[in-house]
Amino acid sequence: GITVFILLLSGLYWGRFNFIIKEEVIATKRSLATPIKIAFVSDLHLGQYHGHEKQFEKLIKLINSQHPDLILLGGDIICCFAEEMLPFIPYLQRLHARYGVYAVHGNHDYGDYFWWKNSNEKQWNHAMLEYYYQLAGIKLLNNDWVKITGVDIVVAGIENCGKPPFGCYADWQKTLESIAPDQYTILLAHDPWNWDRVVEQYPQVKLTLSGHTHAYQFGIDNGHNRWSLFFPKKPWCGMYAQKDQILYISHGVGSAMFSARLGMWPEISIIILR
């Protein structure tokens, strides 16, 4: 009993701030003049960083220290309320990448987990979140895509689409069907369960980046083998491949339900495209 208690305290006061960098190299089969370094960060859940601003500043510095060409945020930047993001805007403004910073929404970003007085109040909360993204200098890809200037790569972002009880706000046709089938495309999709649809319908999406699972926060990941206390179904963590398409699921950075991590440390994913 005492051992479990000590481990949980360790995960609460140390483990959730034990930021790690995980690097993956992916061959694109494209004629890239130079490799492209992507920093992918998901599930910040900023409400859980209130009172821990120094730790968040450490995270921002760690991301920038990797000198990424592109920074992508995978959703769930808040737990429920837009105001969670407000004190962290000055830190987020410091994120720097040659080709910009892009993001998508996750299931927590729509305010679906709170009984609002009315729909207008909920819509206002979401509108304020999108305004705060603008203040932070981060471009939201809401069922939208952008071609990265100077490299032959598209970054697309789908709004969150989860299995019930999670809502689905995605417009797949609007997001992807105007992209040429031979155009190398990176898709930001918060929930990894969408990958089957991607493989079946969208061959241009060569790399899908997801979060959502938090790698279940407790477990073991040594880079080759992964195990969780919760025995999750695949895909739930790390890299998966079908045909010439790849899915990468980050541990995420923040925490939900219980603010502790053991083994599944908060992750900055560095993806190098060659």
Q: Is the pLDDT of residue 63 over 90?
A: yes
Q: Is the pLDDT of residue 35 over 80?
A: yes
Specify the pLDDT at position 267. Answer: 98
Return the SS3 of 180: coil
- Count Cα neighbours of 175 within 13 Å in the Cβ-side half-sphere: 27
Q: How far apart are CA 108 and CA 255, in angstroms?
A: 12
| 240 within 8 A of 250, measured Cβ to Cβ | no
Span of 76-85, 138-147, 185-194, 226-235 with lowest mean pLDDT: 226-235
- Count Cα neighbours of 80 within 13 Å in the Cβ-side half-sphere: 9
Q: Is the pLDDT of residue 247 over 80?
A: yes
Q: Is the pLDDT of residue 265 over 80?
A: yes
Under the banding of pLDDT at 50, 70 and 90, the label for residue 165 is confident
Q: Is the pLDDT of residue 50 over 90?
A: yes
Cβ neighbours for 112, distance < 8 A, ≥ 6 positions apart: 166, 167
**What is the rounded average pLDDT for all residues in the chain?**
95
Span of 30-39, 61-70, 76-85, 186-195 with lowest mean pLDDT: 30-39
Distances (CA, A) of 146 to 65, 83, 132, 138, 153: 25, 28, 20, 13, 9
Q: How many CB atoms lie within 10 A of CB 13?
A: 11
Q: What is the CATH number of the domain that holds 27?
A: 3.60.21
Q: How far apart are the first and last CA of the chain?
A: 49
Specify the pLDDT at position 163. Answer: 84
Q: How far apart are CA 259 and CA 239, in angstroms?
A: 25
Number of domains in the chain: 1
Q: How far apart are CA 150 and CA 268, in angstroms?
A: 25
Q: Is the pLDDT of residue 31 over 80?
A: no
Most confident option among 131-145, 231-245, 255-269: 131-145
User: Which of 164, 250, 239, 168 lies closest to 210, judged by CA?
Assistant: 250
Cβ neighbours for 252, distance < 8 A, ≥ 6 positions apart: 42, 43, 74, 76, 211, 212, 213, 214, 215, 266, 267
pLDDT per position as a tens digit, 174-208: 999 999 999 999 999 999 999 999 999 999 999 99
Q: Looking at the DSSP assignment, which residues form a beta bridge with residue 182?
A: none
Q: Residue 49: which domain range?
A: 2-273
